[in-house]
Structure 1
Amino acid sequence: MNLEGRKIVVNKSVNELVEMLNKPEDYRALMPESLQSFEARDNGFKFSLKGMPEIALKIEEVSPEQVVLKSASSSLDFALRGAMKPISESQTEVQLLFDGNFNPFIKMMVEKPLQNFINSLTDNIEKI
């Protein structure tokens, strides 16, 4: 299952974004309003939103081209990638891309909430 967020322009340089996205605690500011819990860890974070189970993510890669967050659970196979492309020294284009390997039943249940989550993250990234 592949989902895409809209492309946005962030008023930060790629280097500023890389620095921020390397710190698990900085992801709290990007979470939706429905955030119920958030816990930063050494190489990632776990969080829960209203009406959704707790999700644990590990920071797999942070580079000037992309940030990759992967599921820390062996039972869920997915990755959330933020593709980054510099526009100028102080602006970066960002797009969130979700890639998950789910059975058809799970896909049907999670597709809409995940798209809403990606849209909310995109909105919050745009504000930083």
Structure 2
Amino acid sequence: MTIIQNSVVINKPIKEVYDFLSDLNNHEQLMPENIYNWSSTADEARFTIKNMAKLALKISERVENKEIVCVPSEEAPFEVKLAWQVEEVSANETKATFIIEAQLNMMMKMMASGPLKKLVDHQTGQLKEKLG
């Protein structure tokens, strides 16, 4: 199992960060430019990664003010789980951690690790930019 993650501290209360992340409609704002054909509801998102794959994700678990877990809702190129974990640092500061767990064979690991790391870094950076 390949695990890629990054954390960021946001100057907002935990409830505000959790509420933003728990609605997949908001996740389009966190995506890099190579994502297109985005469509979403609060619980599901579909998109295409340029030159790679189409993905359909759904929220499989919500733990209020703790964690949001997404898994593929259709067949994906590899087994993957995406999770956002939020943790209160202080009344107005929240640590958000984005974790991707992917079941990658050696060849897929060489091809996908770089883009997945860029995705994690981009999304945590965008979250900090959007929420402050």
TM-score (norm 1): 0.87
Q: Is the alpha carbon distance of 1:2 and 1:61 closer, same or farther for their aligned partners in structure 2, counting shifts above 3 Å?
A: same
In 2, the alpha carbon distance for the partners of 1:62 and 1:34 equals 27
In 2, the alpha carbon distance for the partners of 1:36 and 1:66 equals 26
Q: Is the alpha carbon distance of 1:22 and 1:4 closer, same or farther for their aligned partners in structure 2, counting shifts above 3 Å?
A: closer
Q: Could you list the runs of 5+ residues in structure 1 that have no partner in the other structure? A: none
Equivalent residue, structure 2, for 1:90? 92
Measured on the aligned residues, the alpha-carbon RMSD in Å equals 1.7
Specify the code of the residue in structure 1 equivalent to 2:60.
E
Q: Aligned residue pairs: how many?
A: 127
In structure 2, the residue corresponding to 1:20 is in which secondary structure? helix
Equivalent residue, structure 1, for 2:106? 104
Contact in 2 for aligned 1:10/1:126 (Cα 8 Å) = yes
Contact in 2 for aligned 1:21/1:62 (Cα 8 Å) = no
Contact in 2 for aligned 1:18/1:62 (Cα 8 Å) = no
Query: Could you tell me which of 120, 123, 128 is aligned with 1:121?
Result: 123
Identity %: 22
In 2, the alpha carbon distance for the partners of 1:120 and 1:42 equals 21
Equivalent residue, structure 1, for 2:43? 43
1:1-128 superposed matches below 5 A: 1-5=2-6, 7-41=7-41, 43-63=43-63, 64-75=65-76, 76-127=78-129, 128=131
Specify the code of the residue in structure 1 equivalent to 2:66.
E
Contact in 1 for aligned 2:18/2:86 (Cα 8 Å) = no
Contact in 1 for aligned 2:22/2:42 (Cα 8 Å) = no
Specify the code of the residue in structure 2 equivalent to 1:98.
I
Q: Could you list the runs of 5+ residues in structure 2 that have no partner in the other structure? A: none
- Larger displacement relative to structure 2 (70-79 or 84-93): 70-79
Deviation at 1:120, TM superposition (A): 0.7
In structure 1, the residue corresponding to 2:53 is in which secondary structure? coil
